[in-house]
Amino acid sequence: MPDYEKEKELAARGSLRYIQQGMTVGLGSGSTAAHFVRLLGEKVRNGFKIEGIPTSIRTSVLAREHGIPLTDFSQKNRVDVTVDGADEVDTALNLIKGGGGALLREKIVATATDFLIIVADSRKPVDTLGAFPLPVEVIPFGWELVAEQIKGLGAAVKLRMTATSHPFLTTHTNHILDCRFEEIPDPERLSESLRRITGVVEHGLFVGLTKLVVIGRGDGTEILTLEGGS
């Protein structure tokens, strides 16, 4: 069986080559991105100068623990490079993200980024998105109505709950609906359909935002690009 934790670290390490001195770097969320933050922290402690913009509170805490200086959008208008994880990556490099619930901040940072790099283990590339339930962030009021409309798009919808059987709350105190479509052959079309539903704050489809994915596979890495390079 593949060592997925090793693959995550290999992918994260492979992304470091794209980080240069003086950059503003988006710091992604999730277990693979956490490897990147720790590895970047090692470089910072050895004199490497960058500033980070974290995509979640957990990432912010981790970055500070590893000595990475942080900034935000009150100081910066753009991000040079962001390194983040994904729950699924299709052949056109469209993504499902948000399994950890940080999709809103992740997308804000991603859309402000000149070069978004996705790092992942070998389980994440798929031919067609959809096996992983699509997270949709919604306001608490009327979430049941939003869920019914998403069901009308062809999904089985569940309100995300905590281990203590309470509704999961995002950083911005919204709910998450986990929407299982099985297959999403047209992510752009579904993205637009979800945006038209009142009460949807954001969704976990990241369409056309990245041109490069670093996959840890076995003892090495594989680079996926829109041109099909590897």
- The DSSP string of 43-72 is HHHTT---EEEESSHHHHHHHHHTT--B--
| Residue 106 β-bridge partners | none
* Sequence-separated (6 or more) residues with CB below 8 Å from residue 158: 133, 177, 178, 180
Q: Does residue 79 contact residue 56 with C-beta atoms inside 8 Å?
A: no
Rounded distance, CA 199 to CA 191, Å? 14
> What angle do helix axes 31-45 and 4-15 make, rounded to 10 degrees?
50
Report CA Rg, the chain. 17
Cα–Cα–Cα angle for 82, 74, 39, rounded to 5 degrees: 30
Q: Which of 7, 106, 137, 222 is catalytic?
A: 106
Please say if 9 is a catalytic residue.
no
What are the C-alpha distances in Å from 210 to residues 121, 124, 128, 167, 184?
A: 17, 15, 16, 31, 18
Q: Cite the active site residues.
A: 106
